[in-house]
Structure 1
């Protein structure tokens, strides 16, 4: 029996504005799509909060025993994403400034994105498709929307007819806006005068001669609209109807609103059962954004090379700080706040280390099952990580009581306690015990240096067979030795 069969998980659905019992379309299987980054610059901490939040969700679904297909895209195609870009997309703009190819920009910042999330101990998604890899699928969706009467072609561009769509559907169902609201929020795209209505959005844009990123289409050379890529990739890998679609709160309108409209215009039905949105990270009380300069990059946080913090903080502490707030609440980042998180994180890890040294007694005076269910109840309540962390500090209190001889655990309860702590701290929250990792790395380094010493002694005694055997067996384990003037060093492959 899988854990999910005994747990009632509730998810806050942005579409209904309520917590709803999670029932996947296919029992035991979950399809989840999360909007990934536009790779034109280094990912900042505010972006990372969204991806860490959905990593928590992914981890918990897997922990419950669901088979999860997690799709998170890379936006690597030229499109207009901010009014102030004056008709030039961010990737092409960066390529022009740096005098490199757009795909060099994409490669550089995609690698950075992956490295940063790996440092945060995020799991990799099941599929990570790119927008440029799905141009054909996007063109096919546009054709279907045109055939269904919800889009029109003007001067090589294709626009979604919001007014026509709204006659038979509800454009604004996710964000709660109406047509009048959208007039004021329409993006100022090139060819604005080509539109029937100012609130219409581009499905395909005609490429001007100077536009670098362009593809052939039935309407001429151009590039897809921003909203279209996620519609194409989510439905290709998860089906026309899937379980969860997530992203940052700032994507609710217009991006996700337009996704719903595109899907309904193409297939006749809404694509997603549960819409989830992670809230923003502020910095010293102000919105964190690249455009304003009020942001901090993860590497600046890890190195301490910034003007915001008093010291450097590890990725695990930063992750713990982020998870101490519920994913739907605004979280303010400050030196004082993360210093407090570091103290709490260290206290938790010290207790886990102490738990490993506790010896079982004949009887138990603590109810571990009740505590464990309280942890599940927290996560079942819309992935409430701060309440889970509060329960983990209750466990810290238990550990200290047992360590001081004031409470006791029998062998079975102690084993269950250790297993549950490991599951919630490391598997679900995705934290790492860095001191324990450092200690293990220190032991490994010590063993390798001992073997290097034995090899050097063998070489000095002209026992080359033993020397080569040590070297070859280390290589087989992924440890490369390098002999130099100053002695022998090693690297882990």
Structure 2
């Protein structure tokens, strides 16, 4: 049987070449994808969630096409310093010091939060989720290789990558489009205290000062790995020295991803990744999200509505639909008005999906189902263009209503294909969940619980236990549930 991926040609935007390219995996039918995960020192913020949601959609589409996908997304639980470079304090160690707890307690707390939030947004777990602390040995081995190849130097127990030496035979800056000469010209003079030969050099291993809690033994003394090195070690361990897709947020392109490429080329002489994909940023009411400025919102606040930026809470499915309405490479502005509009569109789509099973087939088809279906695939094949796919799904909404009211006809075969395709694109690929169906299920549970309370109240009254009978009635009334006794028994109404 021919796999779907053999019929559909994906074109994706490669940050390395700056253009769209036809996707050709290294091994036919298999895809290796690595995405930079969170540094688990605080609650995951909405901008990060957008990135992970975007790559979840890409993961889902590749799986839908029949590819066997190994999706690796790491947890950074050491080595990421507070200024995102080589100075400052480890972000996790700093949080542990402030809260007077063990660093691994910080890691555990925020890793659980990260998983819980992504689960609420219906993100599939990755195939492998390695941690930086679990791969110290692999990182030390890569450092040894880079040192042996002459692209690094040891200084006072720390090991630094020699960017200028590397650039003599390779191209440092090819992903971000930066020229090393310009970087050097724009760099302030190194202070006398700096151990680096050049300002552009970055740490592969940092010597741990006596007060540094997170430390491991190495050939160069006790220390901890550089942030960039972790992803090189984990991606190549599980996906090989060369793999298909590396993803992450736009903010990681430089220096993080640039350094990953340099480390791989310096250690094994190979360009590690064929396609670099970067998700764009999320703004809030037209401005960059910032905790310090108060222009910030956490995912959990969306669900409760407990934020000055929101007038009400929104379901995770609506928030996911909102994210999918923008292309992953475009800036997305988050606002209460945008979410309200998304909620209307989401409800309209789900209402139509709910009508699918009630549609009746006819002898022939008067609408181009095959053309519509291919248009959906064309949207996803064009660099995972989810907004165009959603536009096509609203074309399907029109079809559903036309078939329902009899103004369009559809054959039995086309109807089955149409139903399967709509559900595949809505649920399997976009990863949306039908919250209306969940609400109906909850209503059934509520009705069952109320019937039980009514029965208990009836028994209490039969036993002349009027105190219990009245308490059940009064407590339900406080919750907006009115009991009404009549000849046929007790009924209830629920007020909004």
> What is the TM-score of this pair, normalised by structure 1?
0.89
CA spacing shift, 1:88–1:101, aligned 2, 3 Å: same
CA spacing shift, 1:174–1:86, aligned 2, 3 Å: closer
Distance 1:373 1:222 in 2: 55
Partner of 2:40: 39
How many residues are aligned here?
457
Distance 1:182 1:420 in 2: 50
Matched, 1:274 2:275: yes
Partner of 1:20: 21
CA spacing shift, 1:322–1:225, aligned 2, 3 Å: same
Partner of 1:99: 100
**Aligned-pair distance for 1:401?**
1.2
> 1:13 touches 1:275 (CA, 8 Å); kept in 2?
yes
CA spacing shift, 1:187–1:133, aligned 2, 3 Å: farther
Alignment of 1:207-222 (within 5 A): 207-222=208-223
**Aligned-pair distance for 1:186?**
7.1
Q: Deviations over 1:40-87 (max 9, x none)?
A: 000111110000000000000000000000000000003314169961
> 2:152 touches 2:159 (CA, 8 Å); kept in 1?
yes
Distance 2:72 2:246 in 1: 10
Distance 1:422 1:235 in 2: 36
Distance 2:436 2:189 in 1: 51
Partner of 1:351: 352
CA spacing shift, 1:100–1:173, aligned 2, 3 Å: same
Partner of 1:179: 180
> 2:82 touches 2:88 (CA, 8 Å); kept in 1?
no
CA spacing shift, 1:58–1:186, aligned 2, 3 Å: farther
Partner of 1:415: 416
Partner of 2:252: 251
Q: Deviations over 1:392-439 (max 9, x none)?
A: 001011111112211111111111111000000000000000011222
CA spacing shift, 1:331–1:20, aligned 2, 3 Å: same
Bigger Cα displacement from structure 2, 172-181 vs 17-26: 172-181
Distance 1:434 1:383 in 2: 24
> 2:147 touches 2:153 (CA, 8 Å); kept in 1?
yes
Distance 1:237 1:165 in 2: 26
Partner of 1:378: 379
Bigger Cα displacement from structure 2, 331-340 vs 250-259: 331-340
> 2:38 touches 2:76 (CA, 8 Å); kept in 1?
yes
Distance 2:42 2:339 in 1: 25
Partner of 2:396: 395
Bigger Cα displacement from structure 2, 302-311 vs 395-404: 395-404
Partner of 1:289: 290
Partner of 1:78: 79
> 1:204 touches 1:225 (CA, 8 Å); kept in 2?
yes
Counterpart of 1:51 in 2: which secondary structure? helix
CA spacing shift, 1:42–1:187, aligned 2, 3 Å: farther
Distance 1:206 1:434 in 2: 51
Q: RMSD of aligned C-alpha atoms?
A: 2.4
> 2:82 touches 2:89 (CA, 8 Å); kept in 1?
no
Counterpart of 1:244 in 2: which secondary structure? strand
> 2:31 touches 2:67 (CA, 8 Å); kept in 1?
yes
**Aligned-pair distance for 1:178?**
1.1
**Where does the alignment leave 5 or more consecutive residues of structure 2 unmatched?**
456-496
Distance 2:392 2:355 in 1: 17
Q: Deviations over 1:310-331 (max 9, x none)?
A: 1111100000000100000000
**Aligned-pair distance for 1:290?**
3.7
Partner of 2:465: none
Q: Deviations over 1:143-185 (max 9, x none)?
A: 0000000000000000000000000000001001011343478
Matched, 1:55 2:56: yes
Q: Deviations over 1:348-367 (max 9, x none)?
A: 00111122211112221111
CA spacing shift, 1:142–1:87, aligned 2, 3 Å: same
Counterpart of 1:245 in 2: which secondary structure? strand
Matched, 1:158 2:174: no
> 2:85 touches 2:202 (CA, 8 Å); kept in 1?
no
Counterpart of 2:377 in 1: which secondary structure? helix
CA spacing shift, 1:84–1:219, aligned 2, 3 Å: closer
Distance 2:30 2:128 in 1: 15
Partner of 1:459: none
Distance 1:191 1:301 in 2: 48
Distance 1:5 1:429 in 2: 21
Counterpart of 1:194 in 2: which secondary structure? coil
> 1:192 touches 1:198 (CA, 8 Å); kept in 2?
no
> 1:87 touches 1:190 (CA, 8 Å); kept in 2?
no
**Aligned-pair distance for 1:384?**
0.2
Distance 1:120 1:188 in 2: 46
Partner of 2:494: none
Distance 1:427 1:327 in 2: 18
Counterpart of 2:205 in 1: which secondary structure? strand
**Aligned-pair distance for 1:286?**
1.0
**Aligned-pair distance for 1:440?**
3.0
Counterpart of 1:193 in 2: which secondary structure? coil
Q: Deviations over 1:111-144 (max 9, x none)?
A: 0000000000000000000000000000000000
Matched, 1:140 2:119: no
**Where does the alignment leave 5 or more consecutive residues of structure 1 unmatched?**
455-493
Distance 1:60 1:453 in 2: 49
Distance 1:277 1:227 in 2: 17
